Amino acid sequence: MSGELLNLTLRVWRQAGPAASGGFRDYQLRGVSTHMSFLEMLDVLNEQLHQAGEEPVAFDHDCREGLCGSCSLMINGQAHGPERGTTTCQLHMRRFRDGDTIVIEPWRATAFPVLRDLVVDRSAFDRIIQSGGYVSVNTGNAPDGNAIPVPGHLQELAMDAAACIGCGACVAACKNASAMLFVSAKVSQLAILPQGRPERNARVVRMVAQMDQEGFGSCTNTSECEAACPAEISVSNIARLNREYLRASMTAEF
């Protein structure tokens, strides 16, 4: 079974380092199999560049299974490309046509500075998690798994929020570069569960403060984040974040 072969023009953002000024470079790529993933296509490009003695294009990737959230490309103006609920590594070249020009850019946000070419520094997300995206537990014997009953529908809700892989597509696709979908997923996955309740007030206040400090924009409820999210996190989590924040500001003791 041989798929169609594509001839493509790639317009790729090249930037030598964080302080360097970048720009677009056009590359021609011939005979790309439609069975390739988007990242495999970039591997072929880099092979070609390497053979020509040029610097390969730097891009983030790790699992290539849609699980880790490392891959992060703005493809023709869409975070992770045209497919809904799909990471760049799971995007296949059959979504493109022969002769297409594909514009590839890094995430653009002040809080995500470009390190090199298509790689951005997403440690702002790590610092938000460090500020409150955890539960404190005593070490020692493992607790009885069923000691705390959790209703099934709450498990589902928490798991839906926990599907966030922290890739940053919500920030990238938002016209305000807001991180509300990410933060709301991280607040929700814990706030819904009994284990997360004791720290819920401090958590939301601290995580929102850290989010602001990192320089993310403010949410206008445009819902572009939800459409761009490869894990299909719902904006109802943002409403929950707002509720948690209201509640914490009015009632909290911490």
Partner 1 sequence: MNALVRILSLPACYLSRLPGCGPLVRACSTSVGQKILMAITGLSLCGFLVAHLAGNLKLFAGEQDFNQYAAMLHSLGPALAAAETGLFVVFVAHLGLALSTTAMSRAARTQAYEVMESKQGVFALPQGGASGWMLVTGAVVLVFLVCHLIDLRLKVNPFVDYRPAVAAGAAGSAGGHVNEFLAVRQVLTSSPSRYIYLLGLVALGIHLAHGVQSALQTLGISHRRWNPLFRLISLLFAWGIAVGFISLIAWAHAVNR
Please spell the DSSP secondary structure of 153-203, one letter per residue: HHHHHHHHHHT-----HHHHH-TT---HHHHHHHHHHHHTSGGGGGGHHHH
- C-alpha–C-alpha distance, residues 237 and 83, integer Å: 22
Q: In this complex, which beta carbon is closest to ligand FES, that of residue 38 or of residue 96?
A: 38
Pick the closer one to ligand FES by CB: 87 or 131: 87
Residue 74 in the binding site for ligand FES (CB under 6 A): no
Nearer to partner 1, 67 or 239 (CB): 239
Q: Which residues does 172 contact at the CB level (< 8 Å), separation at least 6?
A: 72, 74, 79, 107, 108, 109, 112, 228
Residue 98 site contact among partner 1, ligand FES, none (CB < 5 to 8 Å, cut-off depends on kind): none
Cβ closest to ligand FES, residue 62 vs residue 156: 62
Of 53 and 99, nearer to partner 1 (C-beta) is 99
Among 10, 12, 13, 66, binds ligand FES (CB under 6 A): 66
Would you say the C-alpha torsion 57, 61, 66, 72 has a positive or negative sign? Answer: negative
> Segment 87-116, which members bind ligand FES (CB under 6 A)?
87-89
Q: How far is the CB of 134 from ligand FES (least distance, A)?
A: 22
Q: Token digits for 207?
A: 């995580």
150 binds ligand FES (CB under 6 A): no
Stretch of 62-70, 113-121, 139-147, 189-197 lying at the interface with ligand FES (CB under 6 A):
62-70
Q: Which of 64, 95, 243, 247 binds ligand FES (CB under 6 A)?
A: 64
Residue 67: contacted member of ligand FES, partner 1, none (CB under 5 to 8 Å, by partner type): ligand FES
Contact 202, 135 (CB under 8 A): no
* Backbone torsions φ then ψ of 37, nearest 5 degrees: -80, 165
Question: Which region among 49-57, 67-75, 109-117, 209-217 touches ligand FES (by CB under 6 A)?
Answer: 67-75
Residue ranges that bind partner 1, judged by CB under 8 A: 11, 13, 24, 74, 76-79, 82, 84, 103, 105, 108-111, 173, 175-178, 208-209, 211-212, 215-224, 227-228, 235-236, 238-243, 245-246, 249
* Distance of alpha carbon 243 from alpha carbon 19, whole angstroms: 40
DSSP string over 1-64: ----EEEEEEEEEE-SSSSS--EEEEEEEEEEETTSBHHHHHHHHHHHHHHTTPPPPP---S-S
Distance of closest approach, residue 124 Cβ to partner 1, in angstroms: 11
Nearer to partner 1, 45 or 74 (CB): 74
CA distance 31 to 5: 5
**Backbone torsions φ then ψ of 45, nearest 5 degrees:** -60, -45
